[in-house]
Structure 1
Amino acid sequence: MLCAFALLGVHPVAAQAAPPAPLAQALDEGNTFVPLPPLRVLDTRNGTGTGGEVEPVTSGLQLDLSAALPASATAVVLNLTGTQPSASTYVRVSPVNYNVPEISSLNLVAGETRANQVSVAVPADRKIYLFNNAGSVHLLADVAGYYTTDSASRFTTTAPTRLVDTRSGAPVGTASTLDVDLSGVVPASATSVTFNLTGTEPTSPTYVTAFPSGTVRPSASNVNLVAGQTSPNLVTVALGADRKITLYNNSGSVHLIVDLAGYYASDRGHRYFPVSPVRALDTRSAPGGPAGPGQTKTVELATRIAPSAAAAVLNLTGAAPTSASFVTAYANGTPRPATSNLNLTAGRDTANSAVIALNGDARMALFNNSGTTDLVVDVAGFFATPPLCVSDCLYGWGGYNAGYGPTPSRRPWLSGITSVDAHTENVLALKSDGTAWSWGENQFGQLGAGGTDGRSTVPLRVAGLTGVTAVATGTWAGYALKSDGTVWSWGSNAAGQLGFGSSSGGSNVPVRVYGLSGVTAIAATHQTAYALKSDGTVWAWGSNVWNGRGDAVCPAGQVCPPATPLRVALPLPGTTKITAIATGGAETGFALRSDGTVWAWGRNWAGATGTGSPYGASVSPSQVVGVTGAVTIAGGDDVGYATTSDGKVWAWGDDYWGTLGTGGLCTEPEFCKSNVPVVVQGLTGPVAIDSGAGTTFAVKPDGSVWAWGRNGSSGSLGNGTSDPCGALPFTPACRASTPVRTSISGVRDVAAGLWAMYAVVPN
């Protein structure tokens, strides 16, 4: 049996495996479409796509698309067919076999043949995963086209428009074709169309194939039918030279219905943004329950896609319908069209893909005609034209996943940004209107937009927050400080880092951190967070594995429930107070005291506390050695920084990537570190420092940005260079051991993360 990867039981979340290859995607700029003649890339009945092995799929299958897709492909459009299932099952298609959410791409009952169009992001290696939940099933896949970072066609949505309904005339007979002329509804520049194709009243088992007119009919199918069945499928197909498509019916006679959803053209339209498969609605668990007869459900998609999206690409499923019915999906706030997206049979789960035009609010409506049925909506992507930034813009470069390149460039989507923070795979931006926006990973709801799982490559608004004055990111959680002095958190709570009184029950929307008021600054590290109050005290919550909470206690006379903030044990003699906080490493905290001394606590890997303590130790709040007159502090991956009143910049901790900035080589990793401060060479008087993923940035009073540390193949230094990095000792292009000037200026704020590097530029 075909079983290319192992899964635990039949739970619809894939087993943990090695982290996936990074997706080759264009992130915030979107992708264009290249149609292909229908091409069969998988047929387990004859060994196509399986290396010749002829066996049904019992659990999982990895499908290599590298022969069908170019290296620039970011997503693929497939027609997926399941046949001869031995049991009722569902099939899922995903770009990776790692933390895959509960989704389905195709629903089957024993013995049937059914197809569904699937749009799925593809990793850099162009291999995707197919998973069968129960029994065995033969799988077929036909490529209709792919999305790419290259210049190609863009998508224009149309109001659902019925182009063909043969029920008003004669059905399509055996081995007969029907040409559909689209020259009156799409422009001359159109390259392909997307439509919902429904077959109804077939007199015998048959299949229907859509292909460009004037071309040879491919060995592929789009709709599979048994006698008397009504079944739809979304179809994307290239146009013939005359802007026509041909529909072929194999056996018996069948009525065909064609409802246009949109078209691709070379000179107009929106770009595509793939979304890691995520569930936006499941009425089986959502308030309100299933959709009743004649009932319309409103579906909020802003938790998954950009608010300004022009259209959403979805997989719709009707589950446990009580009677025959149809379901229509359309833009919220618009008249319901005389079309359908799902045709349901009593007691049978049915899925179909859909491209739904939206009305500018990222909401859609689902209408159920008869009986009751549960409705499930899985988001695969969306179409949009990114709004250009006009003032107070975000510039990005480098990073592990961003693909921005080694030179800072202005990013779209957001204007009016005042600050930005990044940590590993997530980014938070604060706008001048007091709203917070996030992008990156979302497996624990750390985007704060109201959904869990997947990722977003474009900014989504953190739900419900206004009046935000500062933001901070941890590894799997986000934080916001509001103008009323309260702190709010969202994401994972595995270590109690949300601070609301529990070490479980994470949240995909902001919740208030317990007991904090009068807060003036916040900071976050791996699974530990900090708040500075107006009285000059520091409070911590979350992980304490490495004493990241700094011997924190609940002050006498106060009530501090478990998993809520405690006061860090920082000495404050006389009238001294803490004036600034920062974080570094996985659980290291820093504080600047009003007398100009710097204090640190927590994990001391590579000497990250700068206290002279033994490497690897857990450190109680202690003074950073030899630094006086400090005016700013900062931290990074196992490294800390302070700027003193004489303009010097001091660094301590890990120097593997040159983040100490001393100019020293690193030939033996165990010696590339310092547990006491050393002077960063060639840099004086910066007003801000940020460090992450082995790269450090300093902003000088004139707005210039200086960088040192890791550069790598992504060009994290932002000076237009890159280097893949080989073995030690690293080349200067891979690792800058003293500060170099980036190509950006006039900067207000910087943020360094693994996802990418960012700067805010007022203009």
Structure 2
Amino acid sequence: MKSRLLIIVLSITFFANGQCWQKISAGNQFTIAIKSDGTLWSWGDHQYGQLGIGAVTTDAGSPVQVGTDNDWSFVFAGWYSVFAIKTNGTLWAWGQNTYGKLGDGTTTQKNTPIQIGTDTNWLSISSNLNCTMGIKTDGSLWAWGGNLSGQLGDGTFTNRSTPVRIGTANDWVSISVGSSHNVGRRANNTLWTWGVGLNGQLGLGATNFINVPTQVGTATDWAFATAGEQHVVAVKTNGTLWTWGYNAQGQLGDTTTANKTSPVQIGTDTDWLKAQANNHNLALKTNGTVWGWGLNTTYQLGDATITNRTAPFQISGLTGIQNVTAGLSFSFAQNTTSSTWGFGNNSDGMLGDGTFTIKTIPTALFNCTGLGLDDISLATMKVFPNPSNGLFNFQSEQNAIQSIEIYDILGKLLVFQNVLEKESVIDLTTHQPGIYLAKIHFENNAIETRKIIIK
């Protein structure tokens, strides 16, 4: 039996009342999070060094600080590996290093953060069982790790222990890595997949292996996509929900358990915002409600049962939610102040509440009384003129804007625009006069909502 460590120098009361997580990422039986002060914390299973706290052999049932740095801006927890980016754009990794997926030129696991290369323009990372993908601020796509099934997308089946560039495109805006397949979105809102497609997870109408990024259909209205273990969940700009791939536990949400090799629309709702996929799925609607479906053997869907769900259902007790994260067998949800709820498996302390007790329904774990986000954007974000005739300038003096979403007062998504710059212009001149909401996502994961008026 693995030993367990309860971090008692920080009381559970402190965690319940003072933890503001700017970014939280659930991995395979462990969790990594960035606090609002830029410090990095971890909890849960540590068997491969993935907590980043050195040669410790015990699990951590409560958050433990990783080092002393306070300049972390991005973190991603994968399959026993972690990737984090600092505010200076440098990339760091630790944990399991199968096939060289840490990117340091070795296959040796690391139990503390090590810098990967010297580049200072990393934007985001996604990783899973054996490979890692990353996007730089110039929109270029990079990959490293296992490649036996072509999942790196470099046209070969050769493993890489350091990052290699994939293609020449400079307009990649998001990447999500499944067990052996990947889905990426480009600035023109097209979707691309590659890797293993044996269960239809590439969405290309076939079951084969592809070792270069290949477009999914011809649609140019994809707003979001996330890769589960062997399936994909995606949202279009009109707010509709689509899935494809492996479906044995109802992961696709189409009320069946049959695999699908091409995208299928789930229901008719047009208010889906984004999702997080693993073997179970958590999805957000524009009204802040959380919906779940798929595998549910450890209460990871939060409905007090262990019954798999083959269609999306609303998870009770969660409102005003803006972020969700789906670990292997557990889940987190955060509201607009970054107060955090957890549910599902807790055998390794991955929920971080100081216990190893499973949570069958969403349970308040960390109450944040402040913003819980890097609120520097609030003081330096300008929207002008406002009111206007429909042309709005969005300008940030510090953090680059990642994307802007425009909603009507009923919560319907009207416009989604990728930015990746510090300023942008949104054209709403074709919309009726009235009040609208602009949701601004920043590169440091902060989010701000502004009221705008068309006169």
Correspondent of 2:244 among 642, 648, 652: 652
Asked if 1:535 is matched to 2:120, the reply is no
Residue 601 of structure 1 is matched in structure 2 by 194
Residue 163 of structure 2 is matched in structure 1 by 565
Asked if 1:681 is matched to 2:267, the reply is yes
Residue 24 of structure 2 is matched in structure 1 by 420
CA contact (8 A) 2:239 2:273 kept: no
Q: CA deviation at 1:651?
A: 0.8
Q: Give the direction of change, closer, same or farther, for the CA distance of 1:608–1:452 in structure 2 (3 Å limit).
A: farther
What pairs with 1:367-446 in structure 2 (closer than 5 Å)? 385-390=12-17, 415-446=19-50
Give me the whole-angstrom Cα distance separating, in 1, the residues matched to 2:198 and 2:117: 31
Residue 578 of structure 1 is matched in structure 2 by 172
> C-alpha offsets along residues 465-489 of structure 1, whole Å, 9 cap, x if unaligned?
4311111112121111111111100
Identity level (%): 28
1:551 match: secondary structure: coil
CA contact (8 A) 1:520 1:534 kept: yes
Q: CA deviation at 1:451?
A: 2.4
Q: Give the direction of change, closer, same or farther, for the CA distance of 1:562–1:710 in structure 2 (3 Å limit).
A: closer
Q: CA deviation at 1:515?
A: 4.1
> C-alpha offsets along residues 121-150 of structure 1, whole Å, 9 cap, x if unaligned?
6xxxxxxxxxxxxxxxxxxxxxxxxxxxxx
Residue 284 of structure 2 is matched in structure 1 by 699
Scaled by the length of structure 2, the TM-score of the pair is: 0.68
Give me the whole-angstrom Cα distance separating, in 1, the residues matched to 2:44 and 2:210: 31
1:387 match: secondary structure: helix
Give me the whole-angstrom Cα distance separating, in 1, the residues matched to 2:13 and 2:63: 11
Asked if 1:753 is matched to 2:345, the reply is no
**Equivalent position amino acid for 1:742 in 2:** I
Q: CA deviation at 1:386?
A: 4.6
2:14 match: secondary structure: coil
Residue 715 of structure 1 is matched in structure 2 by 299
Give me the whole-angstrom Cα distance separating, in 2, the residues matched to 1:755 and 1:428: 15
Residue 663 of structure 1 is matched in structure 2 by 255
What pairs with 1:348-367 in structure 2 (closer than 5 Å)? none
CA contact (8 A) 1:661 1:709 kept: yes
2:17 match: secondary structure: coil
Residue 690 of structure 1 is matched in structure 2 by 276
Give me the whole-angstrom Cα distance separating, in 1, the residues matched to 2:276 and 2:79: 16
Correspondent of 2:76 among 472, 480, 490: 472
CA contact (8 A) 2:81 2:95 kept: yes
> C-alpha offsets along residues 717-739 of structure 1, whole Å, 9 cap, x if unaligned?
22x3303xxxxxxxxxx222221
1:390 match: secondary structure: helix
Residue 545 of structure 1 is matched in structure 2 by 148
Bigger drift between 458-467 and 635-644 goes to: 458-467
Q: CA deviation at 1:385?
A: 4.5
CA contact (8 A) 1:539 1:552 kept: no
1:463 match: secondary structure: coil
> C-alpha offsets along residues 348-375 of structure 1, whole Å, 9 cap, x if unaligned?
xxxxxxxxxxxxxxxxxxxxxxxxxxxx
1:514 match: secondary structure: coil
Give me the whole-angstrom Cα distance separating, in 1, the residues matched to 2:56 and 2:214: 39
Name the Cα RMSD after superposition: 2.3
CA contact (8 A) 1:425 1:440 kept: yes
CA contact (8 A) 1:588 1:604 kept: yes
1:389 match: secondary structure: helix
Q: CA deviation at 1:490?
A: 0.5
Q: CA deviation at 1:605?
A: 3.5
Residue 226 of structure 2 is matched in structure 1 by 634
Residue 313 of structure 2 is matched in structure 1 by 740
CA contact (8 A) 2:31 2:43 kept: yes
Give me the whole-angstrom Cα distance separating, in 2, the residues matched to 1:679 and 1:655: 14
Structure 1: gaps (5+ residues): 1-94, 97-120, 122-273, 276-304, 310-383, 392-414, 554-560, 667-671, 724-733
**Equivalent position amino acid for 1:457 in 2:** G
CA contact (8 A) 1:591 1:600 kept: yes
Structure 2: gaps (5+ residues): 338-368, 370-455
Q: CA deviation at 1:701?
A: 2.1
**Equivalent position amino acid for 1:308 in 2:** V
What pairs with 1:104-115 in structure 2 (closer than 5 Å)? none
Give me the whole-angstrom Cα distance separating, in 1, the residues matched to 2:228 and 2:267: 18
Correspondent of 2:9 among 301, 308, 311: 308
Q: Give the direction of change, closer, same or farther, for the CA distance of 1:516–1:546 in structure 2 (3 Å limit).
A: farther
Q: Which has the larger radius of gyration?
A: 1
CA contact (8 A) 1:489 1:498 kept: yes
Give me the whole-angstrom Cα distance separating, in 2, the residues matched to 1:509 and 1:758: 25
CA contact (8 A) 2:32 2:77 kept: yes
Give me the whole-angstrom Cα distance separating, in 2, the residues matched to 1:590 and 1:623: 10
Q: CA deviation at 1:546?
A: 1.9
Highest RCO, 1 vs 2 (Cα 8 Å, sep ≥ 6): 2
Give me the whole-angstrom Cα distance separating, in 1, the residues matched to 2:217 and 2:28: 29
Give me the whole-angstrom Cα distance separating, in 2, the residues matched to 1:677 and 1:626: 12
2:287 match: secondary structure: coil
Give me the whole-angstrom Cα distance separating, in 2, the residues matched to 1:620 and 1:650: 23
Q: Give the direction of change, closer, same or farther, for the CA distance of 1:689–1:512 in structure 2 (3 Å limit).
A: same
CA contact (8 A) 2:104 2:117 kept: yes
**Equivalent position amino acid for 2:331 in 1:** M
Scaled by the length of structure 1, the TM-score of the pair is: 0.42
CA contact (8 A) 1:525 1:588 kept: no
CA contact (8 A) 2:199 2:230 kept: yes
2:112 match: secondary structure: strand
Give me the whole-angstrom Cα distance separating, in 1, the residues matched to 2:225 and 2:146: 22
CA contact (8 A) 2:20 2:35 kept: yes
Q: CA deviation at 1:562?
A: 6.2
Q: Give the direction of change, closer, same or farther, for the CA distance of 1:563–1:646 in structure 2 (3 Å limit).
A: same
The count of aligned residue pairs is 334
CA contact (8 A) 2:280 2:300 kept: yes
1:495 match: secondary structure: helix
> C-alpha offsets along residues 381-406 of structure 1, whole Å, 9 cap, x if unaligned?
xxx54524336xxxxxxxxxxxxxxx
CA contact (8 A) 1:695 1:752 kept: yes
Residue 381 of structure 1 is matched in structure 2 by none
Q: Give the direction of change, closer, same or farther, for the CA distance of 1:306–1:755 in structure 2 (3 Å limit).
A: farther
